[in-house]
Amino acid sequence: MIQLIGLKHDVKIEIREKLSIIPKRQKKCLESLLNVCEEAVILSTCNRTEIYFKSRDEDIIKKIFKVLNWDENLIKCVVNYEGEKAIQHLMEVVCGFDSLLLGEDQILGQVRDAYEVTKGLKTSKKELQRLFENAIACGKQFRNRSKISEIPVSSSSMVVKKAVDRGLKNFMILGYGAVGELTSKYVLEAKIDLLYIAVRDKQKVNIEDVRVKIILFNDLQKYYDKVDCVISCTTAPHTVVHLKELPNKNLLLFDLAVPRDIEEIVSESPLYEVYDIDMLGDIHDANYKRREASMKNNRYIVDKAIKEYIEWKTLEELAPFIKKIKQNGDFVYKERLETFKHKKKTKDNEELAELLLKSTSNAYVNRAIVVLKEEHLKGRSKKCEDIISRIFKI
């Protein structure tokens, strides 16, 4: 059975940090999950940690926590969905219905990336492969039909808008992964004077813009006093912005990372205004009602994708029986093919072919008649007639 465990919506960031799975640990965690699950996919973003898996083990949640070295006392902080509810959840996630920022445009790529990791490690097999491929296709179709990308929203766009609306001109971005790159794009689309991008390796950033300066993480302290806004979005497992290193001036700081990049004590200083990922919902978004209406009007795409996957899954239960039907069909035609090979030189081929074709037809027609008679005597002929009529197109 396909299931998922995911963080409850009201779980604070302090708990989410303890249950987060940063990218460099994802492969190892997937390999560990295969010790207790038949299949597994990890979807871990700045605002969610979800594990999709296949298992019928009644104690599977505890076993997952154990292999991931998670504190079992935190089991109360996760939800467990099974079967259709798990399928529905993924379809809603990939289309942006379950995001903190309704309709946000990064989640489709994040789901695709999560699935690609499992393909390389072969931790997703038939059922999860089909589920994630259907979900990704659903997400693409939803965005194409709803035109939701024309009403942009992401944590990156919202924090940049808040800073720009305040008239801030000098920015610093920490990290240049997917979120850092997107944030840079939004910053450079605004009328700003300067953007510092802090990375471990300067070769990772290739931006030709005179306003951009690439700096190393080790040199952060030298540049803090040159900016008005710091946006941190690294995948580091520890804090990278420390109170003792910040300048004696007002700064607007956004922490888009989980685990958090900014030391908690920073927010206690009156000089620094700090927003973490949990606080983004408080930032006004003028496009919310437009996105909400567009998503509601295109909800049918999600419902259709859920129905199609459930139908596929249901029909998959017939796969062993269908295989037997095909094997029986192969036996019938191969038996007659051998007869043709042996007699084609001794009999008229057209007459022989007619005989063998008629024999093949009779093998099934006569059997259908026998079954129909048996069922009629049991008072079940009507249902049997309907099935035989559909098979023989009567």
Domain ranges of the chain: 2-151+291-315, 155-284, 330-383
pLDDT tens profile 2-43? 999 999 988 888 999 999 998 889 999 999 999 999 999 999
Predicted pLDDT of residue 155: 84
CB atoms within 10 A of CB 304: 13
Considering only the C-alpha atoms of the chain, give the largest distance between any 2 of them, rounded to a whole number of Å. 104
Q: For residue 158, which of 285, 68, 278 has the smallest C-alpha distance?
A: 285
**Residue-wise pLDDT tens digits, 197-217:** 999 999 889 899 999 999 999
Query: Does residue 112 have a pLDDT over 60?
Result: yes
Tokens for 81?
A: 């969905």
Positions annotated as catalytic residues are: 46
* Closest listed residue to residue 175, CA positions, set 259, 257, 110, 232: 232
Cα-based distances in Å from 347 to 48, 336, 343, 356? 73, 15, 6, 12
Residue 76 has what pLDDT?
95
The share of the chain scoring above pLDDT 70, in percent, equals 98
Residue 104 class from Cβ within 10 Å (0-12 exposed, 13-18 middle, 19+ buried)? buried
Backbone angles phi, psi at 170, to 5 degrees: -120, 120
What is the DSSP secondary structure assignment for residue 379, as one 8-state letter? T
Indicate the SS3 state at residue 276: strand
Report the mean per-residue pLDDT for the chain.
Answer: 91
CA gap 176, 378 in Å, rounded = 73
β-bridge pairing 2-7 and 78-82: antiparallel
pLDDT in tens, 54-90: 999 999 999 999 999 999 999 999 999 999 999 999 9
Query: Is 121's pLDDT higher than 80?
Result: yes
Q: Which residue has the higher pLDDT, 224 or 153?
A: 224
Where helices occur in 84-177 by DSSP H, the ranges are 84-95, 107-121, 126-146, 155-165
More confident position, 157 or 173: 173
- CATH number (3.20.20.30, 3.10.450.50, 2.60.40.60, 3.40.50.720) of 155-284 reads 3.40.50.720
Residue length of the chain: 394
Digit-coded pLDDT (tens) for 128-138: 999 999 999 99
2-151+291-315: CATH number:
3.30.460.30
Which two structure tokens, joined as six digits, stand for 220?
């952060």
Distance CA 29, CA 33 (A): 6
Q: pTM here?
A: 0.74
What is the reported pLDDT for 285?
62
Give CA–CA dist 251/226, Å, rounded. Answer: 10
Nearest to 260 by CA among 2, 14, 39: 14
Return d(Cα 318, Cα 95) in angstroms, integer: 31
Please name every residue paired with 82 in a beta bridge, in sequence order, or none if there are none: 3
Least confident of 59-68, 115-124, 184-193, 341-350: 341-350
2-151+291-315 shares its CATH topology with 155-284: no
Q: Which amino acid is it at 51?
A: I
> Which ranges in the chain belong to alpha helices (H)?
13-18, 23-33, 60-67, 84-95, 107-121, 126-146, 155-165, 178-189, 288-297, 299-316, 319-343, 349-377, 381-392
Whole-angstrom distance, CA of residue 279 vs CA of residue 247: 24
In angstroms, rounded to a whole number, what is the distance separating the alpha carbons of residues 35 and 392? 48
**Average of pLDDT values for 315-319?**
86
Rounded Cα–Cα distance for residues 56 and 79 (Å)? 17
CA-derived radius of gyration, the chain = 30
User: Which whole number is the average pLDDT over 269-275?
Assistant: 96
Measured between alpha carbons, how far is residue 65 from residues 1, 44, 71, 72, 96 in Å? 19, 15, 7, 6, 27
Number of H helices, E strands in the chain: 13, 10
